[in-house]
Amino acid sequence: MMERLDAFEKMLSDLLEQAEYEERRMKELKAAGREKTATYRQYFGNRLFYKMMLDRYRKYGLLDESEHE
């Protein structure tokens, strides 16, 4: 059971780190006027996916409401 909890915590940490990285990259791309690039659009799509996943974790009480909005 602990292995499963550890795996969940690692997955959540990785998801939060990746979401934060991509958010920073999107800001950089936007500042450079590159919102129409494939990379920006991919990050935007990923952002929607991350939001859905994090909202689901919050729904089940696995993530605090205040964490990464």
Structure tokens at 53: 């996943």
Distance in angstroms (rounded) separating the CA atoms of residues 63 and 37: 32
Q: Say if residues 1 and 9 touch (Cβ distance below 8 Å).
A: no
pLDDT in tens, 8-50: 999 999 999 999 999 999 999 999 999 999 999 999 999 999 9
Give the pLDDT confidence score for residue 62 in this predicted structure. Answer: 85
Opening angle at CA 60, ends 45 and 10, nearest 5: 65
> Domain map of the chain by residue range?
2-59
Distance in angstroms (rounded) separating the CA atoms of residues 26 and 13: 20
Distance in angstroms (rounded) separating the CA atoms of residues 54 and 28: 23
